[in-house]
Structure 1
Amino acid sequence: MRILLTEATFDESREVAATLRNLGCRVSPCHVRAGLCRALSPGGTCPLDEADAPDLAVDVRGAEPGLTAREFGVVCALRARVPVVMTTTEDTDGPVVPPGLEHRVTACPPKDLFEACRGFLRTRA
């Protein structure tokens, strides 16, 4: 399973990315190390535009109610009809879902992220 990974703040998704990779997922971040959108970086491309586009987008977010600039990949994924799962690094019941996205994304706590990914993989098979 290929996952597009985005985050609310720089380096917030590091642990989630490592866990997903350890579970056998191919993780493609939305941003280059410098923080630029991959599609807008010199010579870059968006993973959503590649032949083997991501099956799922995962957004790692904090407690802020709105999307940060680093999370705009969520909008790109939804436009590309790629399901989005939002999670957090906090030990909570799940992230705050930004207004307007309540019925467009799935929110889950980190402990349920892998099962959510597997569920989306089953529905796409």
Structure 2
Amino acid sequence: MSPAVITAIVPQLPSTCLESTSRFYRQKLGFREVGRYPDLLILKWEEQELQFWLATDASLAETSSCYVRVRGIEALYKAYAAIPDLLRAEHALAVRAWGMNEFYVLDPDGNLLKFGEAVPWEPDAGKLPEMPGFI
């Protein structure tokens, strides 16, 4: 018997309305819908998959998040910053204490998407940035 191999890890986030979730991710963030079932939505951005399950408790999304590693974060941030009411000032692009250049997006249900790209960082280079508040 051959050993098991993990081929992907796919986040599943709560959604109170799969239609509005799909519309937000397609129209604002550039995902495409590849599957819809009564209680599950499947979206893709290039080959990366993100799924949403239909939740009846709206508070679940307020504590859910997903980390999205990207290349070219400045270009992505600039594109998203051009979309009215998408980004909050407190979620702006910044180098974080853990060596990632990040910005954050909240979807309509309150799921937090953290977009990040690694930056060169030297521990002896000085004081670390402050930890941001997310919401």
Check whether TM > 0.5.
no
Which of the pair has the greater relative contact order for Cα pairs under 8 Å at 6+ separation?
Answer: 1
Larger-Rg structure: 2
TM-score, reference length from structure 2: 0.29
TM-score, normalised on structure 1?
0.31
The answer to which structure has the higher strand fraction is 2
